[in-house]
């Protein structure tokens, strides 16, 4: 523990919450917090959990008070200053320059054909297999391929992405500031920089539609090379496990609700709403982290300067004040799209349209091309995890 971690507050309100319990089934625990202690100090993470949807929105929509650009941010420590560790004009500058390849129009025209062709190739690779684990076979490969293609990372570097990712994931979750974990995160960021900087300079003259291509040609407002690398790192990190886990959660949800699935198979126009509701019901990203530099009061609770706040998205998505009968998976729910699974406010997910396309294509192609697709009863699985949440494996029978 370093001086960067905050001291335990004198009063320790709220029920005892164990991360190991949250990782298994967070929803009853979060429901209790939401009801009794909507802003709760959680000793194990040394952070304040915010569980009501309205409070989560107030935090995420108030970047002046609840900040991402804190020296206590493990994201900033690992990737340097980029859009998810910046506020105000700097954040606007980074996000507006990174946005073009990720807006709905580019996703439809450029990304969608790539995603569809790649998904079909991955399903073709099932061949005559009777069973598959959708995590390695589809979700992981599709997420890595898509984000690497959109960034413009050349194919010879794709094999290194998962190694980099593993050390970044450890460094971002390194809330005890373990020096070895930090050093590994920094070493991977330097390796990424060394591999990508020559690519960036080659792209300068080419009409390349990727993010690195667009950023390298941005004219007088062009970001510096270190700014491009740091923003590329958050895009790379932001696009892998999030999308992989969402594909798995959506497929697990659909395959675990046979009546809903039968209705979809009879009417494919029901699929988008069924996916939206699955994203509300079992979000892959369970929290957004913010830091306080000054004391603030939230829902009657005084938070000290230096506090770290975790906006619990899974709790907000099941807040009965907004979603009646919230624990029920109901694909006819009219307001399912009000979920906060992509965050809210200025830091709303840059890749939401891209991720939406990946999930939509993966679910549609899998269900349409594999009419007998069902969960393997001999190898059951279920979502797990406290920050990122997904089934560790998803074994299905294909034929
Ligand atoms: C279904 C998959 C995804 C989910 C559930 C998801 C979720 C989120 C959430 C909750 C945030 C807000 C973080 C915060 O406010 O602290 C966020 C931000 C972000 N996401 Fe995603 N994401 C997904 C896919 C992607 C993809 C595919 C990319 C990149 C291509 C991406 C890039 C980013 C970036 C760069 C930010 C920071 C935006 C900013 O600071 O303004 N995400 N995402």
> Three-state SS for 129?
coil
Alpha carbon distance 98, 345 (integer Å): 17
Alpha carbon distance 168, 15 (integer Å): 31
* Cβ(342) – ligand 1 distance below 6 Å: yes
Ligand 1: centre distance to CA 339 (Å):
14
pLDDT the model gives residue 378 = 97
pLDDT the model gives residue 202 = 81
Tell me the average pLDDT across 332-354.
98
pLDDT band for position 11 (cuts 50, 70, 90): very low
Q: Does the pLDDT of residue 367 top 90, yes or no? A: yes
Tell me the average pLDDT across 47-76.
97
The residue nearest atom 16 of ligand 1, judged by CA position, is 288
- Tens-digit pLDDT profile for residues 73-96: 999 999 999 999 999 999 999 999
Ligand 1: centre distance to CA 199 (Å):
24
**Which tokens belong to 63?**
């970047």
The DSSP code for 292 is E
- Tens-digit pLDDT profile for residues 141-171: 999 999 999 999 999 999 999 999 999 999 9
192, 195, 235, 244: which is closest to 211 by C-alpha?
235
What average pLDDT is seen over the chain?
93
pLDDT the model gives residue 204 = 67
Alpha carbon distance 317, 68 (integer Å): 22
* Cβ(243) – ligand 1 distance below 6 Å: yes
pLDDT band for position 2 (cuts 50, 70, 90): very low
* From 131-145, 196-210, 254-268, 348-362, the region with the lowest mean pLDDT: 196-210
Find how far residue 166's CA is from the centre of its chain: 15
Report whether 65 contacts 296 (CB < 8 A).
Answer: yes
Cα distances (angstroms) measured from residue 298 to each of 136, 311, 314: 42, 12, 19
The residue nearest atom 1 of ligand 1, judged by CA position, is 243
Pick the CATH number of 19-397 from 1.10.630.10, 2.60.40.1180, 1.10.150.20, 1.10.645.10: 1.10.630.10
Q: Does the pLDDT of residue 8 top 80, yes or no? A: no
pLDDT the model gives residue 278 = 98
* Cβ(349) – ligand 1 distance below 6 Å: yes
> Three-state SS for 298?
strand
Strand-pair category, 39-42 with 47-50: antiparallel
Residues in contact with 27: Cβ distance below 8 Å, sequence separation at least 6, in sequence order: 314, 315, 318, 327
CB atoms within 10 A of CB 324: 10
Q: Does the pLDDT of residue 118 top 80, yes or no? A: yes
* Cβ(287) – ligand 1 distance below 6 Å: no
Alpha carbon distance 104, 112 (integer Å): 10
pLDDT the model gives residue 217 = 83
* Cβ(316) – ligand 1 distance below 6 Å: no
* Cβ(279) – ligand 1 distance below 6 Å: no
Alpha carbon distance 397, 54 (integer Å): 41
Ligand 1: centre distance to CA 242 (Å):
8
In the chain, where are the structural domains located? Answer: 19-397
pLDDT the model gives residue 201 = 84
pLDDT the model gives residue 3 = 35
The residue nearest atom 4 of ligand 1, judged by CA position, is 242
pLDDT the model gives residue 5 = 42
Q: Does the pLDDT of residue 7 top 70, yes or no? A: no
Tell me the average pLDDT across 367-391.
96
Find tokens 């900033």 and name the residue. 76
Percentage of residues of the chain with pLDDT beyond 70: 95
* Cβ(239) – ligand 1 distance below 6 Å: yes
* Cβ(354) – ligand 1 distance below 6 Å: yes
For 199-261, the DSSP string reads: HHHHHTTS---SHHHHHHT-GGGPPPHHHHHHHHHHHHHHHSHHHHHHHHHHHHHHHT-HHHH
Q: Does the pLDDT of residue 29 top 70, yes or no? A: yes
pLDDT the model gives residue 168 = 96
Ligand 1: centre distance to CA 201 (Å):
27
The atom number, within ligand 1, closest to the CA of 94 reads 41
Alpha carbon distance 276, 270 (integer Å): 10
Report whether 74 contacts 173 (CB < 8 A).
Answer: yes
């Amino acid at each position: 523990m370093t001086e960067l971690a905050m001291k335990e507050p004198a009063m320790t309100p709220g029920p005892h919450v164990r991360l190991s319990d949250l990782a298994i089934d967070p929803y009853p625990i979060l429901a209790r917090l939401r009801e009794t202690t909507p802003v709760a100090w959680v000793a194990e993470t040394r952070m304040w959990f915010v569980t009501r949807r309205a409070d989560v929105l107030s935090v995420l929509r108030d970047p002046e008070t609840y900040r991402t650009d804190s020296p206590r941010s493990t994201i900033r420590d690992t990737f340097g200053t980029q859009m998810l560790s910046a506020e105000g004009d700097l954040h606007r500058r980074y996000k507006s320059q990174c946005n073009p390849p990720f807006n709905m129009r580019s996703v439809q025209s450029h990304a969608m054909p790539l995603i569809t062709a790649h998904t079909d190739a991955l399903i073709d690779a099932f061949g005559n297999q009777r069973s598959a684990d959708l995590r390695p076979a589809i979700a992981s490969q599709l997420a890595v391929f898509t984000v690497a293609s959109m960034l413009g990372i050349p194919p010879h570097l794709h094999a290194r992405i998962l190694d980099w990712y593993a050390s970044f994931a450890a460094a971002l979750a390194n809330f005890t500031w373990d020096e070895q974990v930090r050093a590994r995160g920094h070493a991977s960021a330097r390796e990424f920089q060394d591999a990508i900087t020559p690519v960036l300079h080659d792209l300068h003259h080419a009409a390349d539609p990727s993010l690195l291509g667009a950023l390298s040609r941005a004219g007088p407002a062009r970001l510096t090379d270190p700014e491009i690398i740091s923003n590329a790192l958050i895009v790379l990190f932001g696009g892998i496990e999030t999308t992989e886990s969402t594909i798995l959660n959506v497929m697990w949800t659909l395959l675990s609700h046979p009546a809903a699935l039968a209705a979809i198979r009879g009417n494919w126009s029901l699929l988008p709403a069924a996916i939206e509701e699955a994203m509300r019901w079992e979000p892959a990203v369970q929290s957004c982290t913010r830091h306080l530099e000054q004391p603030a009061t939230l829902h009657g609770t005084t938070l000290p300067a230096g506090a770290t706040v975790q906006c619990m998205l899974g709790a907000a998505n099941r807040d009965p004040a907004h979603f009646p009968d919230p624990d029920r998976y109901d694909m006819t729910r009219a307001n399912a799209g009000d979920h906060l699974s992509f965050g809210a406010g200025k830091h709303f997910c840059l890749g939401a349209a891209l991720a939406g396309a990946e999930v939509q294509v993966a679910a549609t192609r899998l269900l349409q091309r594999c009419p007998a697709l069902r969960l393997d009863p001999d190898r059951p699985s279920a979502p797990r995890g406290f920050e990122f949440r997904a089934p560790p494996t998803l074994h299905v029978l294909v034929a």
